[in-house]
Structure 1
């Protein structure tokens, strides 16, 4: 082996470098160095354990590199250029897809870590349908605060065309901004899964969401049971399965956080059939409407002979615009909530279970004053 290397060196010294390199490319694999340089990029797309990839690569390099190295040092004119190219290629190993929570209130609620990442990313997308941006967080305010453009991603982009968001995330840093916490919606968990299946590194930057900020009403977080979503009733479509989950929590003495329905960028059946991208105005279920639906369900269950867990005197908590400057919290009966105007969205409704004396004392500070129901 040593004799072979010395022979190559003497041959290289006795002829012009360009001729030697040309001869080498004809007789051997001319893509050897590009294999090395692009190795990190290729490795991110192969589903293989790291140790096995390193073992196979080392074996290949050991066999090929010993006698090809001299030739390619001539082509790249020394170690420095060769080494710099390889080190630069290693940057591909550190490209990441970021999911960044924005919090609840305004543009300044993003964490310092999240802000620094946003500023360095090549592309930044803004998820704009599992929460709202038209009240406290709009795209223009975010762009002004970040000092960079932001690409808005609607329901179709996130759920059906996620490859467009993830495109290039293996060779450049890409971020998706999410109001609240990234894992406050199952959609984002699915996006993380798709990224990992594509060999893309994922990093999540957490933030506050209604799931933990709900404690602002005085109810203790560890006493909450299953969270439910109350959907907006439509003509001929009035589901009530969420009531059973509320009843289950209530019977177990647990509090229930009810997330209220949001409908943005919805299409009528006619527009969908005609392929027209015409969308209905945004609609947000309010605490009042949710309370009315619950009372209707209670009435229907009573007519069937069931003993309803809730009634018009059940005490509930209404939350509006949590984390904003005009946040509002009201503690009242379900009947009172059904006619109460909590103002602009977003709203959440809480059905308390068994309460601790400290919880009761804090809830009483939000009790609805007399004659304040509209």
Structure 2
């Protein structure tokens, strides 16, 4: 059996009992280490699970999946994923490869940012499509995400924006020369994300995002009641100018608030507002939310 097991969002204790049993029964256990990041050291997981973990980087998962799946038709093999297994298309791909090899598969779910985002007070059924925002470069500024944000905005829906991470990435020079030299990890911050959103709006000029009248909520390390969880709400300009250290440790996510905004959402998120007065006035005057 090939298992893909979600680890949740916080620490080693987030594993489900079903997932823990599958880990203990597995002959090999891989830890996927590039689509998200752990909040704890690998050694703490190994001590809790009483199993050695094999780190699986992007190259192994995407191009060497045969090694991960080796022997899974006879023995149990597990791939551990931060959050939920279906939080990345990579995991769907390896499941399809396993099924093509006639290997039995099982997915064990867990919490992910897709549901933990509810901690900010916005109601999950008011969310539209989730988008990813990558680091811009001088020559590459992809803006396809903007179309999804616009579609959500036209329906009044909130947009969850997942911010880019760069783990085990090579520079263009090292990649061209075939040198296995990797850049230090980089994690997109909230101010960088907001800056890129406003830059894209300036280029597209479709009136979807406005620095002083678009509300947004920043999140970091939500889930599991982590001590270092941070939630900050405000206008895009307020989030842009807010000190980066106040957003906490990565990973960061951002929610662009949609116009279909309920007064209970406003009240709940006001707890996290940089300026509660501005938060409520924009919600009332721009979003036309009837506040009681």
Normalised by the length of structure 1, the TM-score is: 0.70
Aligned to 2:56: 153
Deviation at 1:106, TM superposition (A): 0.5
CA RMSD of aligned residues (A): 1.2
Report whether the alignment pairs 1:277 with 2:180. yes
Pick aligned residue for 1:346 from 251, 270, 280: 251
Aligned to 1:362: 268
Which structure's residues are more often helix, by fraction?
1
Deviation at 1:273, TM superposition (A): 2.3
Alpha-carbon distance in structure 2 between the residues aligned to 1:166 and 1:325: 37
Deviation at 1:236, TM superposition (A): 1.1
| Per-residue CA distance 1:277-329 (angstroms, 9 max, x = gap) | 11000011111111011111222234xxxx41110111100001112321011
- Give yes or no for contact 2:218–2:252 (8 Å, CA) kept in 1: yes
Q: Structure 1: where are the runs of 5+ without partners? A: 1-95
Alpha-carbon distance in structure 2 between the residues aligned to 1:325 and 1:202: 35
Aligned to 2:216: 316
Deviation at 1:339, TM superposition (A): 2.3
The structure showing larger relative contact order (alpha-carbon pairs under 8 Å, at least 6 residues apart) is 2
Deviation at 1:338, TM superposition (A): 1.2
Moved over 3 A (4+): none
CA gap of 1:360–1:369, structure 2 versus 1, over 3 A, is: closer
1:157-236 matches, within 5 Å, as: 157-236=60-139
Alpha-carbon distance in structure 1 between the residues aligned to 2:129 and 2:267: 24
Aligned to 1:243: 146
- SS of residue paired to 1:338: helix
Deviation at 1:127, TM superposition (A): 0.3
Aligned to 1:118: 23
Deviation at 1:190, TM superposition (A): 0.6
- Give yes or no for contact 2:229–2:248 (8 Å, CA) kept in 1: no
Larger CA Rg, structure 1 vs 2: 1
- Give yes or no for contact 2:32–2:79 (8 Å, CA) kept in 1: yes
Normalised by the length of structure 2, the TM-score is: 0.90
| Per-residue CA distance 1:241-262 (angstroms, 9 max, x = gap) | 2122111101111110000111
Alpha-carbon distance in structure 2 between the residues aligned to 1:229 and 1:262: 10
